């Protein structure tokens, strides 16, 4: 009987440790995402750097040899509403590949918000 109680105590302690480890892992991931999304430009800027910067440049003017649009002009922003920008990100446009299988809807939204900040940074008028 004492042996069964000892085994039970060990199993309960082990279950508690596993539960704590899983809980700690689960709490870390969302907190990290929330922190970066809360910063000005956080999630969108990070996604831009990861997926867009190599062709569209850090400032949104684009790598000239690839002929992407200059996303820093008021004219470009006026001609492209958020829905059109999101569609281009998801489906691709011209030589740009689509990211529908790569990015979640919230990430596309974060990128659109970041792209909207490019006209402020790039427009000097």
Entry pTM = 0.64
Please give the backbone phi and psi of residue 68, each rounded to the nearest 5 degrees, phi first.
-80, 165
In this structure, are 3 and 58 located in the same domain? no
What is the three-class DSSP state of 56? helix
In this structure, are 2 and 28 located in the same domain? yes
Q: Is 87 exposed, middle or buried (0-12, 13-18, 19+ CB in 10 A)?
A: middle
Most confident of 2-11, 63-72, 105-114: 105-114
The domain that contains 98 carries what CATH number? 1.10.760.10
What letter does residue 70 receive in the DSSP assignment?
-
More confident residue, 61 or 23: 61
In this structure, are 65 and 112 located in the same domain? yes
In this structure, are 57 and 109 located in the same domain? yes
In this structure, are 3 and 63 located in the same domain? no
In this structure, are 3 and 52 located in the same domain? no
- 1: containing domain: 1-33
Label residue 7 by pLDDT band (50, 70, 90).
confident
For residues 15 and 23, the answer to whether their CB atoms sit within 8 Å is no
Tens of pLDDT along 33-92? Answer: 333 333 445 899 999 999 999 999 999 999 988 889 999 999 999 999 999 999 999 999
User: What are the structure tokens assigned to 30, written together?
Assistant: 């969302």
In this structure, are 92 and 50 located in the same domain? yes
In this structure, are 72 and 50 located in the same domain? yes
Count of structural domains within the chain: 2
- Picking from 117, 124, 125, 101, the residue whose alpha carbon sits closest to that of residue 58 is 117
In this prediction, residue 29 carries a pLDDT of: 42
In this structure, are 44 and 101 located in the same domain? yes
């Amino acid at each position: 009987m004492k042996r069964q109680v000892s085994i039970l105590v060990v199993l309960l302690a082990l279950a508690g440790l596993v539960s704590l480890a899983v809980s700690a892992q689960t709490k870390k991931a969302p907190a990290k995402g929330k922190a970066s999304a809360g910063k000005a430009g956080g999630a969108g800027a990070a996604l831009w750097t990861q997926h867009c910067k190599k062709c569209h440049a850090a400032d949104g003017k684009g790598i000239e040899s690839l002929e992407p649009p200059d996303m820093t002009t008021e004219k470009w922003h006026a001609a492209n509403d958020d829905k059109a920008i999101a569609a281009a990100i998801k489906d691709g446009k011209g030589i740009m590949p689509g990211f529908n299988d790569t990015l979640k809807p919230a990430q596309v939204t974060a990128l659109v918000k970041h792209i909207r900040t490019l006209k402020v940074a790039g427009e000097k008028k």
